[in-house]
Structure 1
Amino acid sequence: MVKTAVIPLAVVAALVPFVAANNCKTNLNYCGYNLLNIGNYGSQVNGALQAANQPTDDSHIHESLLHCNGGSNGDISFESYCSGGCHDGGSGKSDSC
């Protein structure tokens, strides 16, 4: 009986890293579209826009620059709306307008 319990535990332990959501890296700025691609940030992006009295249309969701405040949930805050488009800064670097 013990052997049959060990196999499922090993499978669960192996899958845990794949289930965990990615968080933003503290103190970097992200385009909204990049946050949506790295984790479950939909509600946080909307919340950050609303807290800054910004519209929550697709353009603002995807083309706003958001700051990663960090924490266990990867908290974010609104920096600015990039009316000319938000640009990916590359891995480990801040995005920009």
Structure 2
Amino acid sequence: MQLTHSLLLLVAATVTSTFARDCKPGYNYCGHNLLGIGKYLDQMAQEAADNNRDSGNAMVQYLYKCVDEGDRAGPGVIEFIEDCSHGDGWHCSDNGSGSNDSCEPGS
């Protein structure tokens, strides 16, 4: 009985996290936030290559849009917007849940 209960909790947690792991269409995300979700590394690298950008550690400072329209739209699809490290002290800023991330100057 205990094993069955544990297995059900594990399955429920897995299903919940699977559905909660897509980006929200229409929102902008910093690369470091997409990596935190855990399934975007390949898409980020492809977007970097498609836009002639470094696909290494620099990707954490790139800003991406979760696509909500057009040919590429679909659950969890992203596209490159810009490299936030383009100026002295600039970085990709996590603006919190329900808000777009953005490129911001350093303080």
Normalising by structure 2, we get a TM-score of 0.71
Aligned to 1:87: 93
RCO higher in structure (CA 8 A, sep ≥6): 1
For 1:82, give the aligned amino acid: C
Identify the structure with the greater helix proportion.
1
In the alignment, the residues of structure 2 paired with residue 86 and residue 14 of structure 1 have an alpha-carbon distance, to the nearest angstrom, of: 34
Residues 23, 39 of structure 1: 8 Å contact kept: no
Larger of the two Rg values belongs to structure: 1
User: For residue 71 of structure 2, what is the aligned residue in structure 1?
Assistant: none
What's 2:54 paired with? 55
For structure 1, the residue ranges without an aligned partner over 5 or more in a row are: 1-6
Consecutive aligned runs of 4 or more in structure 1 exceeding 3 Å deviation:
none
Q: How does 1:1-97 map to 2 (within 5 A)?
A: 11=8, 14-18=12-16, 20=18, 22-59=21-58, 61-70=59-68, 71-72=74-75, 74-83=76-85, 84-97=90-103
Q: How many residues align?
A: 89
User: Secondary structure of the residue that 1:65 maps to in structure 2?
Assistant: strand
**Alpha-carbon offset, residue 54 of structure 1:** 1.1
TM-score, normalising length: structure 1: 0.78
Q: Please, what is the CA RMSD of the aligned residues?
A: 2.2
